[in-house]
Amino acid sequence: MADVNTIYDFSQRGKRAVITGGASGIGNAVARAFAQRGAKVAIIDMNPDIEKAAADISPDVMAVKADITKTGEIDCALDKIAGRFGGIDVLCNIAGVGQSVSAEEISEGEWDNIVSVNMTALFFMCQRAGRYMIEQGTGGKIINMASQAGIVGLDMHVCYGATKAAVINITKTLAVEWGKYGITVNSVSPTVIMTPMSIKHWSGERGDNLKKLIPMGRFGTVEEAAACFVYLASDAANLITGENLVIDGGYTIQ
């Protein structure tokens, strides 16, 4: 049974957390939030500035440059992290690529890239980190980045939406399989979160039109998204698994 004070402050003290896409955007905000709450944090990213991004959070944050679309690089990255931290307790799968291409125009190459990063790489990160958690025998937390686009149709997002729907189902299936090991698996489905990637797709009139369909009338911040990952990784969420936490200002309730 978790300590009441630990539950109420959403502490990550003593936890060993791996965050993909941690060099920028939501991943960076999540890494910062975990570090501030006492976790040992490692970020995995292809960004050439990953070392600086890690140092800007804390000198104690570990930076591992890796291409997670290659299972060999996933294995090497997790081996390094587990070797330094002594294990892995939390995986936040945030790395992803966006799309703003119509269904009639998307190319096979674009399709394959989005599927490779958003769905296939995410699953194999879960699989590899899950193996560590199972072997440790102390449970664990996996939180995957999904999207409102995985719940409803979104213009110009046919492949992106398909991968995010897959993420939600992967999450539910892994929750069923790994509950017996004390591993919880959940996903987070935000509306547009204002990062450099989303600004490219949702600035100007297009973004203004989407905000009109959101009851709260705005997009989200990286801090609001990070808070969801912290909650789901905390002891407060020990009985929550297989769920998709939607943070979309009410967009998908209509």
Active site residues per annotation: 160
Q: Which residues of 30-67 are buried (b: 16+ CB within 10 A; e: fewer)?
A: bbbbbbebebbbbbbbbbeebeebbeebeeebbbbebe
Q: How far apart are CA 202 and CA 156, in angstroms?
A: 11
Tokens representing 118 are 């958003």
Q: How far apart are CA 126 and CA 33, in angstroms?
A: 21
Task: Name every residue whose Cβ is closer than 8 Å to that of residue 7 and which is 6 or more positions away in sequence.
Answer: 234, 235, 236
Taking alpha carbons only, the member of 219, 95, 214, 218 closest to residue 145 is 95
